[in-house]
Amino acid sequence: MRNEFARNLDLAQAKIQYDEQCKKVLGDKNILSWIMQRTVSEYAGVSREEIMKCIEGEPEIGSRRVNPGETNASRIAGLSNEDKVNEEGTIFYDIRFLAWIPKSREKIRLIINVEAQKKYYAGYSLTTRGVFYGARMISAQLGTEFEIPEYDKIKKVYSIWICMNAPKYIGNAISEYKLEKTDLIPGIPDRRKEYDKLSIVMVCLNTKKETDDQFLGILQTLFNTELPEKEKKDRLEQEYEIQMENGFGKELSLMCNLSDTVEERGIEKGIEKGIEKGIEQGKLEMLFSLVRDHILSSADAAKRVGMSEVDFVSLMQKGTRGQVPLENGQK
């Protein structure tokens, strides 16, 4: 029987592979077009076909390194998913890419980040983390998109968070957090373009609860681990017109298979731990019996399970209530 470290390592590796595959599925342009159409105001009312044409190059879902300040950063084929600033640490983005704003008089680009998150609360606020990611995407443009003092060239950034297992009290919901102008004393003109540079969008899913919203329905279908692969693909094709061609179907199949692997290894780990617990309990019961029958002393029995004699006797007495207790001094 494998040790617990090996089981934990296998399960952790399977989870990492599943997480990476989820990012690849979300990073497909077809899926991104749904996300952008619903969560990025600049694409409201634009067809998904047109939105896909606006995505520059291929979204980065890898680990290519780019340091802010390098003028040859990935400005054409998406962006690196790593953002490293001296003395500020390194951020690894799940998905990050550039997109043109359709029907604009000038070629204006957005920088869009999509994050997949399993838990709504991981010991901190996801919204606050989203603000941090957005701020870093703005500061990282120095040297690639603008130079001081050309601040007007800063590109608007979106950080979109897909939370797969939101609490029941939240359910299926979408919220946007952005900069707004408030007049303390009126008089300053409202030029929204000058400050509308940061938007955080939280998309919370509850796969246990049905939704009439088409966009949320797609995400629920994608990440519902209880839905069989064939049914998932059929629903995506028939209800949402998402084709399984061009490699997307293969990526989705791999994600489903990895989900099954995570579940199987989790069950396997639980079974093995249960067996080990049962074996340990059986060993204790056998030692209790040997001590009661005066075949083995309580001191020797305690040594065999790595316990003190006092603890062993106490445990045996707790486990043999209703039976004749050990006599004082019995060995």
Give me the residues paired with residue 199 across strands: 158, 178
Residue-wise pLDDT for 68-85, tens only, equals 443 333 333 345 555 655
pLDDT score of 149 more than 90: yes
The residue among 305, 284, 281, 293 whose CA lies nearest residue 331 is 293
What's the pLDDT at 127? 92
* Cβ–Cβ under 8 Å, residues 117 and 163: yes
Bridge partner list, 204: 163, 173
With beta carbons less than 8 A apart as the criterion, state whether 140 and 83 touch: yes
Residue found under tokens 């701020």: 135
Contact status, residue 211 vs residue 170, Cβ threshold 8 Å = no
Region of poorest pLDDT, from 11-15, 139-143, 203-207: 11-15
Helix (H, G, I), strand (E, B) or coil at 45: coil
Determine if the pTM surpasses 0.75: no
Tell me the per-residue pLDDT of 20-34, one tens digit each, with 9 for 90 and over.
778 888 888 888 999
What is the predicted pLDDT for the residue at 150?
93
Q: pLDDT tens, 240-299?
A: 888 887 778 777 777 776 655 544 444 444 444 444 455 566 777 888 888 888 888 888
| Residues 165-200 pLDDT 10s | 888 888 799 999 999 999 999 999 999 999 999 999
pLDDT (average), residues 111-130: 85
- Side-chain-facing half-sphere of 279: CA atoms under 13 Å: 7
**Alpha-carbon span 222 to 227, nearest angstrom:** 9
In contact, 24 and 251? CB cutoff 8 Å: yes
Rounded Cα gap, residues 66 and 200, in angstroms: 23
The pLDDT value recorded for residue 323 is 40
Residue 91 pLDDT:
65
pLDDT bracket for residue 90 (50, 70, 90): low
Least confident of 2-16, 271-285, 309-323: 2-16
Number of residues that make up the chain: 331
> For the residues 49-69, what does the mean pLDDT come to?
67
